[in-house]
Structure 1
Amino acid sequence: MRRLLTGAAVVPLAMIALAPSTFAAPQGGQVSGAIFTTDVTGAPVNLNHYAAKQDVYLNGGPGINAPIGAAGLPAGTYTFQVTGPKPTQLLSSDALACRQFTVDGSGVIQSVTASGACAHATGTSADDPGITVQLYPYADTPNPGGVYKAWVTPTSRLDCNRFAKYGCFNPRYSKTDNFKVLENAIVEIDTRFWKNGNALLGMAAGWTDTVGASNVKYSEYNPAILAYNEAHVEAAEEGTHTITVSDQAGCTIDYVTGPNGERYRNGSGSYSVSVTVAPWNAGDDITYRVEVYCK
């Protein structure tokens, strides 16, 4: 049974108001779109938990319930890596040149030919017309909770001189998604959207992780993977994360509540909620909730 943790810091920040039909544009040069970890088929995996490191694949786009065409990556060539929750914990063991893929104008992963002879294995995505890309080989995480972090960044943004501590990746231009192997403990940040007492699906919640990389999650209902109307951030690592919610089609925000039930209403149409994930203790299953109330 998951429990809701209290005592997490939640801070509302005024942001630029957005048109009701849009989600927040990337800030400070961030790359638009989203990624998620999956299995070889591209189908969502329960709580981002995997039985073996070889089972984890990468997919581009938003997954279930997102609007068609939403969160596709910009066309181009990308490089990926796997680390522990700390960016200095580089786990990918092959060369950067072996960890590349391309995205076409449709916004999904199309090819690993950019990696040449050492390209990673691929599968066919069940969710879109693209492919999935195997993350393996990578070493075991040193994190006691079994947390791994997958990174994707435009290859043109790699900088091994300035950002060597991130494995040549700059968090500002990177997408990340967390996952676990063998470890089943649940530590997650869930954002739900409500209107007239009904849960809204396909609503976007931006996530900025503890190192400043970003991604987009969408609210979904899929009991097979324990998704009950939430936009899930799974395997959240210890530290401070930010959930960003904004006015979008179907939801003009009235107010937002944080994990402790604090209520925030600033009238800007956009909120950044700071959620501090506590150190993980063996056996803990913890859910931090952000609730968005629409009018």
Structure 2
Amino acid sequence: MFRKLVIPGSIVLASMAMLGSPATAAPPVQLSGAIFTTDASGNPVNLNIYDSKEDVYLNGGPGINAPDDAAGLPVGTYSFQVTDPSGQTLLSTDDVTCRQFTVDDSGVITSVTPSGNCAHQTGAGGNASEDGGISVQLFPYNDTPNNGGVYKVWVSPTNLLDCDAPGNKNCFVPRYSKVDNFKVRNNLIVEIDVRFWKNGTAMDGYAATWTDTNGASNIKYSEWNPAVLAFHEAHFEAVEPGTHGIRVESQPGCTITSVLLPTGKVVKASRGWASVSVTVADHTEGDHTYWVDVTCA
């Protein structure tokens, strides 16, 4: 039995056995865990800016600087794609069946076996990697049409790919997808940085959830890592123009009381969480950081 996945510029006929069947039960509102781009060693790259398309690898797991009890991606088989920031232009050039990997119960990427003979190259794993899992090369994919040099990688459970879902991006449904933005050979910095403050001190290891302009999401953790220009922030790099969401929740050692937005507006936390919007302009020259400052009690 075959299911037709309609993808801009091509039609992919994929076996249900290879891609999985559509979910019959209601899927989770949001996947746990996070994804992030790295180099082949599985470690982060300064500001998510790479020298070549071949240098960009995908990593999974709870996320950079996550606490020990943070959740990773749920166990299962996943598919990925590379697009422009809007998700409208598919840049990955091989069949989606070649872009699959598995996650074990530790929440990290462990294998590209589901992709068979056309599987993507993998990088270092184990102690060489940021999260202990393997990294998966995103190449091959075309150049982005975005004038800021921005690319977006998507990851979704294979059985939740749905070419008929409203708002799907090449069969990837935003609300069931994790995303991360990156750049190639473009050094302009446009980012949303979330900081957590308690009694005037910036704190590391605290989670912020980013929802992009398409409705897909990811989680990053505040960290101190000068080597990648992280100075107590949770970095969301290479963000596209438009309105983004940032959600923060109370965590051990941080009972959230308020959030200061880049506009100067202060939003009070309610019931231990706050959800705010950040509007990113179309920056064509000059670096820009949108600061979101969270106050903890």
Which of 267, 288, 291 is equivalent to 2:290?
288
Number of the residue aligned with 1:124: 124
Correspondence for 2:185 among 178, 182, 185:
182
Task: Please give the alpha-carbon distance, in whole angstroms, between the structure 2 residues aligned to 1:103 and 1:266.
Answer: 34
Post-superposition shift, 1:244? 0.2
Structure 1: segments with no counterpart, 5+ residues = 1-26
Q: Which of 178, 199, 203 is the equivalent residue of 1:200? A: 203
Does the 8 Å CA contact 2:34/2:63 hold for their aligned counterparts? no
CA 1:164–1:98 in 2, change beyond 3 Å: closer, same or farther? farther
The amino acid that maps onto 2:77 is: T
Structure 2 residue identity aligned to 1:273: V
When normalised by structure 1's length, the TM-score is 0.88
Query: Quick check: 1:158 aligned with 2:158?
Result: no
1:64 — aligned with what?
64
Alpha-carbon distance in structure 2 between the residues aligned to 1:190 and 1:62 = 19
Tell me the TM-score normalised to structure 2 length.
0.87
The equivalent of 2:221 in structure 1 is 218
Relative distance call for 1:62 and 1:285 in structure 2 (3 A) is farther
Matches of 2:269 and 2:169, distance apart in 1: 36
Segments of 5+ residues of structure 2 without an aligned counterpart are 1-26
Amino acid at match of 1:274: S
Give the conservation status (yes or no) of the 8 Å contact 1:28–1:172: no
Shift of 1:143: 0.3
- Counterpart contact for 2:189–2:288, Cα < 8 Å: yes
Instruction: Give the deviation of 1:159 after TM superposition.
Output: 1.3
1:100-111 equivalent positions in 2, closer than 5 A: 100-111=100-111
Query: Counterpart in 2 of 1:47?
Result: 47
More moved, 103-112 vs 128-137? 128-137
Deviations 1:225-275 (A, max 9, x none): 000000000000011000001111110012110002222224421111100
**Partner of 1:116: helix, strand, or coil?**
helix
Q: Which has the higher contact order (CA 8 A, sep 6+)?
A: 1
Q: Deviating runs (4+, > 3 A) in structure 1?
A: 161-165
Which residues in structure 2 correspond to 1:132-143 (within 5 Å)? 132-143=135-146
1:228 aligns with 2:231: yes
RMSD of Structure 2 on Structure 1 (CA): 1.4
Q: CA deviation at 1:62?
A: 3.8
Local SS of the residue matching 1:123: coil
Q: Which letter does structure 2 place at the counterpart of 1:259?
A: P
Tell me how far apart the structure 2 counterparts of residues 216 and 143 of structure 1 sit (CA, whole Å).
24
Q: Is residue 2:285 matched to residue 1:251?
A: no
Q: What CA deviation, in whole Å up to 9, does each residue of 1:129-162 have, x standing for no partner?
A: 3100000000000000000000000000011233
The 1-side partners of 2:232 and 2:122 are apart by 30
What's the CA shift for 1:70? 1.6
Distance 1:63 1:31, change over 3 A: closer
Identity %: 63
